[in-house]
Every structure is written in C-alpha cells, then in structure tokens.
Amino acid sequence: MKTHFFRFIWRINAILICLASFLVMFVCAVASYFIFKEIVGHASFGCSSPTAQETPQAIEKKLEISDARTIEGTTVVRCSLNSVSSYPDGGSFSSRKSDTTTTRNFLYCDLVSGETHWLLPNNTAVILSHDDYWFPQEKGSIRWTSFKVVDKDTNHDGILSSSDLQSFAVSQPNGTRYTLLITDIEDVMESKLLEENKMIVFYRKNTGVFFATIDLAEMKVTSTKNIFEKK
C-alpha cells in the first residue's frame, strides 16, 4: 500500500517537474524573442541613411512678408519676403516640425504715391544679409543699401546657402538701381561708405583677401587689390 502511495507521489512530482521545465523554456523563449527584437530594432535605426538625417526634405514651404520698416529720409517702407520651410524634427517617426526662414526678396512700398516694386525680378535667390549706409553718418539719412546674395548652387549640395559663393550688390534706399558689383566671392569681411558715392569693400575670393573701391554714382568697381599679394 505504501509502495503504491509513494509511486503516485513520484508520478505527481514528475508531472510537476515537467510542467515547470516547459514553463521555464517558454519564458526563456519569450524573453529571447523580445531581446532579439530590441537588438534588431536598434540596429535598424542605427543603419538608417545619414543623408536623410542630415538633409531632411522639407515637407512644407510658404512665403511670408515681415519686418516692415520705414527707410529714414524717404517715404518708402521696406518689407522682407521670406520662405519658411518646415522639416521633420527627430526623424520620420515624429510629428513635430522645425522651421527654417530664408530671405528671398524685398518689397518696397511708397506711402505717398502708393507704388510698389520688388528688389529682385524673382524669388529664386537667397539674400544672406543687407546693410544700410547713412551719409553724413551722425545726422544724415540712408543713401545706399548693400546685399550679400547667393543665386548659384556652387557647391552642388542642392540648396542655396552661405556655403555657396556669394555676390555683393548695392541699391538706392528705395530699392532702385540694384546692381551686382562683386561676384563669386567667399565672404564680405567689411564694407564702409567713405563719401556719399564712394564705398570700400574687403572680401575673400580664391583664398585671397581683396580690397575694392566702388563708385556708386556710376555703379562700378574702380579698383581692386589683393592686399596680401607680394610685389
């Protein structure tokens, strides 16, 4: 009788041990699956295209008018026309966006005559910056405005930016007589109005630093010199 009882107990224990073994194997298999999935998931993110991360495609573009201000000494209001591009922030798995604003043109409005006109004939170029020049400097009015402009993709990266070669242009304060005076330069270091119609510009071009004198009445460069060139 006791023998049958112990055999029954042993069979019960054997069944419980088997069930426990199967349970442990099942848990290990499930855990292994999730660990493998996690590793593969991280690997797939790490192997995503760096080009897509570094230069994401804009998903939205729009034009905005902003920064309206009256030009001193005139009856003209100048407004900037900006293109606003929205990019995914944090990759395609996020709905957040970051905006990049680029100046494309300037609109001039005469408050007396009601006439309006654009600085540039189209909105394809990028205006990196602009500066107004007063004469006389202490209590005069704005006589000229200069612009740093990019209109060619010289580094072939698909966008117009400060990484491309630039042009230096000048216009009258109301946006008329816009003229490109120095082209294909790396950067403008300094520009200054010496007389009402005379300007000097320091700029980098072809690894050299140049000094140019500009006659604004004629809208032309009258002299150019590489200041580090050995005689």
Write out pLDDT tens, residues 108-163: 999 999 999 999 999 999 999 999 999 887 677 899 999 999 999 999 999 999 99
Q: What local confidence, expressed as pLDDT, does residue 90 receive?
A: 55
- Mean pLDDT in residue range 73-81: 93
Q: What local confidence, expressed as pLDDT, does residue 11 receive?
A: 59
Q: CA-CA-CA-CA torsion for 65, 67, 70, 76, nearest 10 degrees?
A: -20
Domain segments of the chain as ranges? 51-186
Q: Is the pTM of this model over 0.75?
A: no
Of 12, 14, 34, 11, nearest to 22 by C-alpha is: 14
Judge whether residue 64 has pLDDT over 80.
yes
- The percent of residues above 90 in pLDDT, for the chain, comes to 58
Cis peptide before 121 (omega within 30 of 0): no
Return the higher-pLDDT residue of 203 and 87: 203
Q: What local confidence, expressed as pLDDT, does residue 59 receive?
A: 58
Q: What local confidence, expressed as pLDDT, does residue 155 receive?
A: 94
Q: Which single residue is written with the structure tokens 């003229």?
A: 179
Of 55, 8, 41, 43, nearest to 158 by C-alpha is: 55
Q: What local confidence, expressed as pLDDT, does residue 141 receive?
A: 87
Label residue 220 by pLDDT band (50, 70, 90). very high
Write out pLDDT tens, residues 158-178: 999 999 999 999 999 999 999
Judge whether residue 27 has pLDDT over 80.
no
- Mean pLDDT in residue range 75-83: 95
Q: What local confidence, expressed as pLDDT, does residue 95 receive?
A: 52
Tell me the one-letter amino acid at 50: P
Other Cβ atoms closer than 10 A to 57: 8
